[in-house]
Amino acid sequence: MKKTILYLLMIPFGLFSCKDDDESTPTPVVSNELSGDISTEVTLDPNIEYKLTGSLLVVEGGKLRIPAGTVIKADKGFNKYILVEQGGQIFVNGTADKPVKITSAAADPKQGDWGGLILNGKARLSGPAGKVTTGTTEVNPAVIYGGDVDNDNSGVIEYLILEYTGAKSSADIEHNGLTLNGVGSGTKIENVYIPYGADDAVEFFGGSVNVKNLIVIDSDDDMFDVTQGWSGTLDNAYGVWKAGYTSTESDPRGAELDGNLDGNTPGDVNQSDFIFKNITIVNESAFEMQDAVKVRRGAKAHITNLLIKGGTATDLIDLTDGKGNGNAGTVVEYHHTGVTVKGQEVKNPDNATITANTANTGADTSVFSWTGYKF
> In Å, how far from its chain's centre is CA 114?
15
Q: Which pLDDT does position 171 carry in this prediction?
A: 75
Domain limits of the chain? 31-370
What whole-number distance in Å separates Cα of residue 273 and Cα of residue 139? 25
Residue 225 near residue 281 (C-beta atoms within 8 A): no
Can you give the pTM of this predicted structure?
A: 0.93
Specify the pairing of strand 300-309 against strand 331-337. parallel
Q: Which pLDDT does position 10 carry in this prediction?
A: 28
Judged on CB neighbours under 10 Å (0-12, 13-18, 19+), 335 is middle
Specify the pairing of strand 168-170 against strand 173-174. antiparallel
| Exposed e or buried b per residue across 117-143, where buried means at least 16 C-beta atoms within 10 angstroms of its C-beta | bbbbbbbbbbbeeeeebbbebbbbeeb
Residue 99, amino acid: P
The tally of CA atoms less than 13 A away on the side-chain side of residue 39 is: 7
Quick count: other Cβ atoms within 10 Å of Cβ 100? 23
Q: Which pLDDT does position 7 carry in this prediction?
A: 32
Vertex 123: Cα angle to 201 and 233 (nearest 5): 50
For the chain, which residues score pLDDT lower than 50? 1-24
What whole-number distance in Å separates Cα of residue 6 and Cα of residue 47? 16
Residue 201, amino acid: A
Beta strands of 97-151 (E only): which ranges?
Answer: 100-104, 117-120, 134-137, 140-146
What whole-number distance in Å separates Cα of residue 92 and Cα of residue 97? 14
H or E segment and range at residue 276: strand 273-283
Helices (H), the chain: none
Q: How many residues would you count in the chain?
A: 375
Quick count: other Cβ atoms within 10 Å of Cβ 172? 7
